Amino acid sequence: MRSRPTIRDVAARAGVSRQTVSRVINGDQRVADSTRVLVERAIAALQYRPNVIARSMAQGRTRTLACLSPNLTDFTFAQIIEGAEAEARQHGYFLLSSSAPDSVTFAALVEQLVMHRRVDGVLVINPYIDDRYRHIVSETPVVLIGSRSRDRALSSICLDDHNAARAAVGHLIGLGHRRIAMIHGPLAEDCSQDRNAGYAAALQAAGLPVDPGLIVGGDWSATSGDLAARQLLAGGASFTALFAQNDRMAVGAIRALREAGRRVPEDISVMGFDDIPLASYFDPPLTTMRQDMPGIGQRAAQLLIRALEASEAAPEHVSAPAELVVRQSTASPVGRP
């Protein structure tokens, strides 16, 4: 069996020292271009592959990134992780994913992964209004996803929830709706607060009042959307459109509306948020706001890798837009063209 080529073999073929080969592999800019070409040709001819583990030990780095999220089953989080993992792989990094549903679990994970030098940097998916990132020592590069740092200079990327919600409600207003109810997510999450503000801004811009009687809360589940819609109907307030802050709550609301004899969209238009894969297969197909979650994960990984490889890079804050996707769950109210 043919043995794997070594750095000594590459050096001999290129006619240079092993130290020079090592410098080329590690991207040392002090190596002359002519020498670099010789080494790269030798590497290609021998099909040499550097020992990644040994290289990482020599550099004091693991080439491993951590991605911590509240759970690994949520579709939105899974898409973010998928995008981040693909980008990390492109740059020669391995992405280790783990769930941290609360601050205590998060702190324990940080101790295992960061304090013991098992990862070089951390992506934190955290929709909650808290500062759990404080558990990560300041020397470790961190990028926040879905939240913003309130006391540290950290890069972050968030969906532009305010303007996305404003666009969603603006679509309903544009159809002629004037009484628009809303089912919001948990108020302990930044995105719920921002979408609430976008809802109010859209109404106010159209000269419409914000009626507290048309606003109820859910927990992102379809069951909570069903219960919230029943609560709205039981309250007796009239409305011709409903904005649910995610697609699952929208689907639950549609079920409750139908069981109460309300047609969608003929009697009540329903607007979702997320554009999950099944949104176009719902009955009726759901009008919603599309989020590029894999793209957000990809951009977050880029920010983290930049922080690792260019230590002087300033923190960057990215606001990702959402896209309106019009389907058959929204229409003009009865009596309007």
224 plus 265 within the same structural domain = yes
pLDDT of residue 5: 84
For residue 112, the 8-state DSSP code is I
pLDDT of residue 137: 60
189 plus 273 within the same structural domain = yes
Cβ-Cβ contacts under 8 Å for 145 (sequence gap 6 or more)? 80, 123, 124, 125, 126, 156, 157, 158, 296, 297, 300
Instruction: Tell me what the mean pLDDT of segment 159-186 comes to.
Output: 98
179 plus 214 within the same structural domain = yes
Say how many domains are in the chain. 3
For residue 132, the 8-state DSSP code is G
CB-based contact 170:202 (threshold 8 Å): yes
The range of the structural domain enclosing residue 210 comes to 161-291
Q: Which residues pair with 123 in a beta bridge?
A: 67, 143
CB-based contact 175:333 (threshold 8 Å): yes
Q: What is the pLDDT of residues 217-242, one digit of tens each?
A: 999 999 999 999 999 999 998 999 99
300 plus 282 within the same structural domain = no
Q: What is the CATH number of the domain that holds 35?
A: 1.10.260.40
Q: Is residue 12 part of a domain?
A: yes
190 plus 142 within the same structural domain = no
57 pLDDT tier (thresholds 50, 70, 90): very low
208 plus 267 within the same structural domain = yes
Distances in Å between the alpha carbon of 283 and those of 4, 66, 74? 59, 39, 23
166 plus 260 within the same structural domain = yes
**Alpha-carbon Rg for the chain in angstroms:** 26
175 plus 214 within the same structural domain = yes
Q: Is residue 325 part of a domain?
A: no
103 pLDDT tier (thresholds 50, 70, 90): confident
Of 188-192, 194-198, 206-210, minimum mean pLDDT range:
188-192
HEC string of 247-297 equals HHHHHHHHHHHHHCCCCCCCCCEEECCECCHHHHHCCCCCEEEECCHHHHH
Pairing outcome for strands 288-290 and 323-325: antiparallel
pTM of the model: 0.78
